[in-house]
Homo-oligomer: A and B are copies of this chain.
Amino acid sequence: MPKRADLSDTFCPVGRSAELLGDRAVLLILRDLFFGNRRFEIIAANTGLGPQLVSARLKRLLVEGVVERRAYQERPVRHEYRLTAKGKDLFDVLYAMRNWAERWAYAPDETGGGPAMRYFHRACGADVGTAIVCPGCGEPLRYGDLKGEPSPALKAEQAARVG
């Protein structure tokens, strides 16, 4: 593509976010990081993205301060990627995307009745559905507050990708 206009210096906050998040690969990598996948090969396998693209996007996320790279073992040196505080604060965006998809992106009988991914509030145990405040206790839902349970169909799909 030709050089597209850079949005990182616009004053519009959505524009600034879009510069980073308006990218399929970035969103998929962030999803995996929130899911707890930290290793390069696992992320590549789970997202279905090629290693070159994963490498390029992780570099961008490093530059933006959204992820950090650290060695999880010496001899041989192996690295993993973790969300920084700035990265963890993207939880609301990913969670909103999940909520929207659960409400609009599935055929009526596609998931067998329930959501593709069920979330429970750790604090009170309630199934939060697609709410942004807990329907059980009324607390706003933030990063770390939720425990996810994939539907059988989603679990099978994930197993097939990593396998």
A residues with CB within 8 A of B: 4-5, 7-8, 10-19, 21-28, 31, 48, 86, 89-90, 92-106, 111, 115-117, 131-133, 140, 150-151, 153-154, 157
Q: Is the CB of A11 within 8 A of B157?
A: yes
Partner of A90, one of B16, B100, B132, B157: B100
Q: CB distance B105 to A16 under 8 Å? A: yes
- In the assembled complex, 26 residue pairs joining A and B whose CB atoms fall closer than 8 Å, in A order, are A4-B24, A5-B48, A8-B105, A11-B116, A12-B116, A12-B117, A13-B102, A14-B101, A15-B28, A16-B106, A17-B98, A18-B27, A18-B31, A21-B27, A21-B97, A22-B22, A22-B23, A22-B26, A22-B27, A92-B99, A93-B93, A93-B100, A95-B96, A96-B96, A131-B140, A133-B140
